[in-house]
Each structure stands twice: as structure tokens, then as C-alpha cells.
Amino acid sequence: MIDHGQKIHSRLARWSGRLALFFASLTLAGVLLHRLTSFPTPVAINVFALSAVGLAFAALLGLLSLIGIWRKGYAGASTAFLGIVLPLLFLGWPLTFVPALFKLPPINDITTDWTSAPRFEALANLRAAGAKPTAYPGEPVATMQQAGYPDLRSIALDRSTEETFELVEEAVRKLKWRVAASEAPTPKVGRPGTIEATDQTLLLGFPDDIVIRVSGTNQRSRIDVRSASRYGEFDFGQNAARIRRFYGEVQAQVDATLPTTVAGRRRLRTTRGAAMMKKLKERESSKAAPRTPRDRAPSSAQRERVPKETQR
């Protein structure tokens, strides 16, 4: 009979479990500190990188310990299992972004206007010393963006700049972006409206800056967006996805204002037109409403015809 109390515990398994628990706790602490406090993003990036290396090393020790456990009968299989599974849980989600490294362009600044990208002004003063510059990188990045994200273009609406700016403000509010500055357009002097806001990535909370520009006339307006990461060289498609979400929210606001199609082009009805449509709908609904018993009572002409019909 084997005395399990005398079995030698695998050192590799012990260290694998310890390292896995330590670096997993360090990762969680970094995420919480970065999202809930003013923990510096560059420091958080270093913490996450160190934790990833530590978790990978813990998993390697766990795999090596299984060899000794299998061959020499060492104890510590459960510890080795913890040292392997815990890193896989924490590293599994980042590994899903690896295909994007080979598929998407290595850029972190996306705009719908490459020739005259919207500029950061208020947010330029909020960026830390280690953050990326706010100036648009220029033609090389624009070329890569056109190849990787050809669908991101300016959008035009048959609305005045003031109405479109209200739609944009509502879309930003729905997306829960933190607005840093907002300036309504002034059509008389030809000044466009701008909104500068900040968003965070879902899990790690990395900050990305957005600037929206609304330009045009009293008849037609144009929306341009720029989304740029403050840190890193590669955004894994996050900025492009953010612009698509914004356009989707703007489209939802447009659809909520009773859109129609005129001459093959989408137009938006004014508030007066919407009120008229509402009155017409109420009138139609009142006509279609079920009649009361009194309404269903026969008229005098109908009552006179009843006896004649019975006489026949």
C-alpha cells in the first residue's frame, strides 16, 4: 500500500500554482486600478505585459511538472492543473486578437476625412506626456486605412447643420462617451460644429479620443469622425469599430424622425411635417375605431323598411 503522506510534492507544480495565482491577482489588480482610479495607462500596460509573461511561464512550469508527476509519482497534480488552467483562462481572451495582427493594418488613428482630418483641441491638453501626439499622422496612415477599412467614409444628411448636430449629440449621449468639449455650428460664418469625447476599451479600459465635426449649410450637412488611441501602435480594429457604432447610432436617430425616400435619395421630414403625419394617423385611427351600440342603432329610413320587407 502506498503511503500518500510520504509522497514527494513536485517543486515545479508548487511554483507553477504560486506564480499563476500571483500574476492572475496582479492582472485583476491592474484592471481595477486602471478603470476605477487614475492609475497611469503606461504603467498599467507594463503591468499587463509582465503578468502575461508570468502567466505563460507558470503554464510552462505546470506542463513540465506533469512529466515528473507521471514518471516518478510525485504529488501535486492539482497544483499543476491550477498552474496550467489559470493562465489559459487569463491569456485565452488576448490570444483571440492575434489573427488581427495579420489581418488589420498596424494603425491606431482612424478618420473619415483623410485630406482634412478633424483636429483635437480640448483633448490635446488632456493627453499625458507619454501619449501619442494629437496631430494626424498623414498620408501613410491614410493609405493603410483605405486598404483596411474602405467602408469608413463621411456621411451626408439632407438636414441643416443645427439639426444634424442635435442628432450627433444624442448619439454621443446614447453611446455614453465622456464629452470634453462641445461647440455648436455657426452657419452664418461657416464654422462647423465639433464634439470632443473620450471612450474606453471594454475590459482593460484603455482611453481613446474621438472628435466629431458637423459642417454644411441650412439644406445639407456632412459628418466626419476621427477616433485615435492615446497609447500603442496597433488598435486591433477598435477605433474603426467605434466609428461604425457611432454611425449606427446616428442612423437610428435619423430613422426615428420618419425618413422617406424622394427621387431615390433619403430625406428627413421636418417637425411640422411630423406633426401633420401624427394628425393624419389620429384621424385614421378615429375612423377605424369600433362603433358604440348607439352608433350601430338603425336609422329612421332603415326602421321604415323593416315592416315593408316583412309584409312581402
pLDDT tens digits along 106-163:
999 999 999 999 999 999 888 877 788 899 998 999 999 999 999 999 999 999 999 9
pLDDT exceeds 70 at position 309? no
Residue 245 and residue 117 share a domain:
yes
What's the total number of domains in the chain?
A: 2
**Residue 213 — very low, low, confident or very high, per pLDDT cuts 50/70/90?**
very high
Task: Look at 42-56, 113-127, 290-304 and tell me which has the smallest mean pLDDT.
Answer: 290-304
For the chain, give the mean pLDDT: 82
Give mean pLDDT, residues 239-246: 96
**Could you tell me if residue 296 is inside a domain?**
no
Encoded amino acid at 209, one letter: D
| pLDDT tens-digit readout, 12-23 | 999 999 999 999
For 72-89, how does the pLDDT look when each residue is reduced to its tens digit (9 = 90+)?
888 889 999 999 999 999
Do 89 and 234 lie in one domain? The reply is no
- Whether the per-residue pLDDT at 188 is higher than 60: the answer is yes
Q: Is the pLDDT of residue 267 over 90?
A: no
Q: 3-class DSSP state for residue 97?
A: coil
238 part of a folded domain: yes
Total count of residues recorded for the chain: 312
On whether both 187 and 244 belong to a single domain, the answer is yes
Residue 217 lies in a domain: yes
Q: What share of the chain is helix, strand, coil (3-state, %, to 5)?
A: 55, 15, 30
pLDDT category at 224 given cuts 50, 70, 90 is: very high
Domain containing 138: what range? 109-262
Contact 210/199 with Cβ under 8 angstroms? yes
- For residue 304, how many other CB atoms are within 10 A of its CB? 10
Residues 78 and 214 in one domain: no
**For residue 7, which of 64, 84, 72, 66 has the smallest C-alpha distance?**
72
Q: In the prediction, which pLDDT does 285 show?
A: 55
Check if the beta carbon of residue 235 is closer than 8 Å to that of residue 250: no
> Does 73 share its domain with 212?
no
Q: Residue 200 is part of a domain; what is its CATH number?
A: 3.30.310.80
pLDDT at 275: 43
Whether residue 129 is found in the same domain as residue 27: no
pLDDT score for 5? 52
Residues 27-39: pLDDT tens digits? 999 999 998 888 8
Per-residue pLDDT averaged across 90-95, rounded?
Answer: 88
Supply the angle between the helices 161-175 and 238-255 in degrees, to the nearest 10.
120
